[in-house]
Chain A
């Protein structure tokens, strides 16, 4: 869709997943057996066939760049447009911009070169499958300055606490934006607006010493702008803490979540050429998601297993998340554990976490 371009802004996202984000940004954290968090927003943008997508990164983006490559996995390796990874490198001594406005200011060319008239902005922490085409159509029909996407959450969870909320009237207008903890309309960190208005506001804000676009433009002008609300009703989860990561991962084992997130709209990721997973005679597996390339000889229950994991005979994994290429030797026992990539767990070792506070093993450890 030539009329719409995408921006994924990771600048305001905090790397609060402890060991999992020591060496990578939140968007690059592996999720759901074979994906990384960034895959979900990129797949939404791919389905909407956006002209070009800019990804604003600031810190620890090495593994993210490795994952994204030239954008081919999301059909974004285009002659014109496609995926642009835009790091914050800039050495203009007269530049006074701050926050994500600095990003936008430093990359004005990216916005100006695109033919698209509208921009959809998104973060990477809200997993969803919002139909961005439909959102765009809604925005035009409503004749709004800005359209925000929200979901009505029936049972609020701790991870929703930091999310913004929106008050919506019967005409689908946003009447207020705030952070009341027990309010159910959670803002999904996705909005659409016209490029021209966006650029005007960026310029104005920088001139007035502002730093964050959402806070300083949309929130401050919420009574001045015409802000429309787009309600989303599909699968949604927020990954902004280790606890929310663990809980939402294991909830993928419920069929509604598995189908809602993966099967209704396929999610793309970087391709690996792994053989299918092999279950030996001694394997015993129940209520688990497994990626390809695994060799399973032990017991796996209620767990998420990433690509290329080996579980040897007699080993037992329960309520755990085991990332790429871990090796669990014979008779080792793992319960309530998140194990990052390339961990080698020796024979007979026992690792136990608590179901509300999983034990996290950092990348490439040998135990």
Chain B
């Protein structure tokens, strides 16, 4: 293999329990977002747009969809003769088999993969965030400071800081302390889960951590503190732009809603920074006479007879006459009958909603986002009534 300056390792093995039914049989990075994408499209497209052509994708939980989705990587222009995208599931070795025990362990078990490319730097990414970022600009920053590790950070409101890994830095952004979800945060610089390491330095610490039985083998909890203890030079890279952790049903819904304003904070129509995805090859969307569509995004293959406002429709969704959908996310190939009302809900793919159903109307807890799938009882017993 030809030597590479930087290899990306994308952590895509997470289950994402807080996404409830959406990840029942799907890894979190494969969850749908934004009318046509899956979450993993964002880091993969960022790599492609940043000119990083070698990406290892580490899978573990429910890998089938992810593996077949990524395929040879051609949709992200990552089907390369030298490099490209590699799916890396946990595997058996001479001395037995183990699941990935943590984020750092996943990289530790793929040392040989990274070593093939003999890279100067390694980019560690997670597959559960929505953002557009030029990793190459971050690499330049990392090189200018001759850092052993650079962590990309985003400024969060103080009251939310305790939800994140918080970095405490000197004035020149050199990190002296890392606190995972601190009760009393000292700063508002939250880690975005995007790291660039000097491979040589990371390699040494991974080997050390791998032997340590007491370690949880996590980048935030173990590797970063270990490196700080060893007096390595760690820098924060301030990122300005849109970034969302979509690990919960609420945050996934919110991030979808963020796309709906007239000037959305995340521009998906930028020809210079396309978000690539596997094309479902559907015909053009049809908006029927009498339909109303406003403040929404709708994908190809949809047939809309009813009213859709402030909502996201994925491909192949059908909305019957007289139906009204507000503040909702409708995933692929959902069939919605006639005179249905849906408010503030996520409808999981392939769900069929019968005529005259009401979902999320007149309920007590207005803040809760309803998650409806094929087997969902909610719409019948708790929140839906058949007229």
Chain A interface (Cβ < 8 Å from any Cβ of B)? 32-34, 72, 253, 255, 258, 261-263, 266-269, 271-293, 295, 297, 300, 304-305, 308
Which residues of chain B are near A280, meaning CB under 8 Å?
262, 294-295
Complex: how many Å from CA A275 to CA B259? 11
Complex interface bits, B20-43 against A, C-beta within 8 A gives 1, otherwise 0: 000000000000001110000000
Residue pair A32, B35 in contact (C-beta under 8 Å): no
Complex: how many Å from CA A279 to CA B286? 13
Residue pair B293, A287 in contact (C-beta under 8 Å): no
Complex: how many Å from CA A272 to CA B271? 11
Closest to B312 in A: A276
Tell me which of B279, B283, B293 contacts A267 (CB under 8 A): B283
Residue pair B294, A279 in contact (C-beta under 8 Å): yes
Shortest distance between the CB of A50 and any CB in chain B (Å): 19
In the assembled complex, B350 has its CB within 8 A of some CB on chain A? no
Shortest distance between the CB of A59 and any CB in chain B (Å): 29
Interface stretch, picked from B51-59, B200-208, B297-305, B321-329, is B297-305
In the assembled complex, B383 has its CB within 8 A of some CB on chain A? no
21 contacts between A and B (CB under 8 A): A72-B74, A261-B283, A268-B281, A271-B75, A273-B274, A275-B34, A275-B297, A276-B300, A276-B313, A277-B299, A278-B269, A279-B293, A279-B296, A280-B295, A281-B295, A286-B289, A288-B287, A289-B284, A289-B285, A290-B287, A292-B36
Complex: how many Å from CA A36 to CA B84? 31
Complex interface bits, B259-284 against A, C-beta within 8 A gives 1, otherwise 0: 11010000011000011110101111
Complex: how many Å from CA A272 to CA B281? 10
Chain B interface (Cβ < 8 Å from any Cβ of A)? 34-36, 74-75, 259-260, 262, 268-269, 274-277, 279, 281-300, 312-313
Residue pair B262, A281 in contact (C-beta under 8 Å): yes
Residue pair A34, B297 in contact (C-beta under 8 Å): no
Residue pair A277, B286 in contact (C-beta under 8 Å): no
Which residues of chain A are near B75, meaning CB under 8 Å?
271, 273
Given contacts A273-B277, A292-B36, A292-B300, contact A281 B284 (CB under 8 A): no
Residue pair B286, A258 in contact (C-beta under 8 Å): yes
Which residues of chain A are near B298, meaning CB under 8 Å?
276-277, 279, 290
Shortest distance between the CB of A303 and any CB in chain B (Å): 10
Complex: how many Å from CA A267 to CA B291? 26
Which residues of chain B are near A291, meaning CB under 8 Å?
284-285, 300
Which residues of chain A are near B312, meaning CB under 8 Å?
276
Residue pair B283, A290 in contact (C-beta under 8 Å): no
Residue pair A276, B297 in contact (C-beta under 8 Å): yes
Complex: how many Å from CA A358 to CA B275? 36
Given contacts A273-B274, A279-B294, A279-B295, contact A286 B35 (CB under 8 A): no
Residue pair B279, A271 in contact (C-beta under 8 Å): yes
Complex: how many Å from CA A171 to CA B125? 67
Given contacts A281-B262, A282-B294, contact A287 B281 (CB under 8 A): no
Which residues of chain A are near B295, meaning CB under 8 Å?
279-281
Complex: how many Å from CA A273 to CA B312? 18
Shortest distance between the CB of A124 and any CB in chain B (Å): 19
Complex: how many Å from CA A70 to CA B276? 20
Residue pair A287, B288 in contact (C-beta under 8 Å): yes
Which residues of chain B are near A284, meaning CB under 8 Å?
292, 294
Residue pair B269, A293 in contact (C-beta under 8 Å): yes
Complex: how many Å from CA A258 to CA B287? 12
Closest to B308 in A: A279
Given contacts A276-B36, A292-B36, contact A283 B275 (CB under 8 A): no
Residue pair A273, B284 in contact (C-beta under 8 Å): no
Closest to A280 in B: B262
Shortest distance between the CB of B268 and any CB in chain A (Å): 4
Which residues of chain B are near A274, meaning CB under 8 Å?
269
With contacts A258-B286, A277-B297, A281-B294 known, what are 16 further pairs, Cβ within 8 A?
Answer: A261-B283, A266-B281, A266-B282, A272-B279, A276-B312, A277-B299, A278-B259, A280-B262, A283-B293, A286-B289, A290-B284, A290-B285, A290-B287, A291-B284, A292-B300, A308-B269
Shortest distance between the CB of B321 and any CB in chain A (Å): 12
